[in-house]
Amino acid sequence: QVQLVESGGGSVQAGGSLRLSCAASGRTFSSYAMGWFRQAPGKERDFVATITRSGGVTSYKDSVRGRFTISRDNAKNTMYLQMNSLKPEDTAVYYCAAKYGSSWYTNAYEYDYWGQGTQVTVSS
């Protein structure tokens, strides 16, 4: 069992930055690939970024590549999402997720555990 808790959300103006954190419980964090997803009102949950369990491979949604950076610190059982040059269309609830496995994963249905989400609001 893995419990995930997101933090770091908030309200910023367009062009600003936020850093999201996802703290995981348990001793096997390094066995899980991790991902960030987001859900805007009235829309489906959408892939944002994923990272392998070692942190060696990352993948991003096209619209955030170059602006967002996913990373992890296995010693701290924590994953991060650094978000720069934020746009109003980035407004959503952001969720972190964990998937037991050695690859990287971009589909929500592949993930085993989810956090409760943190709100990010970007104003123009």
Q: Residue 99: phi, psi to the nearest 5?
A: -135, 125
Cβ(116)–Cβ(93) below 8 Å: no
pLDDT tens track for 85-122? 999 999 999 999 999 999 999 999 999 999 999 999 99
> Which tens digits make up the pLDDT trace of 9-64?
999 999 999 999 999 997 699 999 999 999 999 999 999 999 999 999 999 999 99
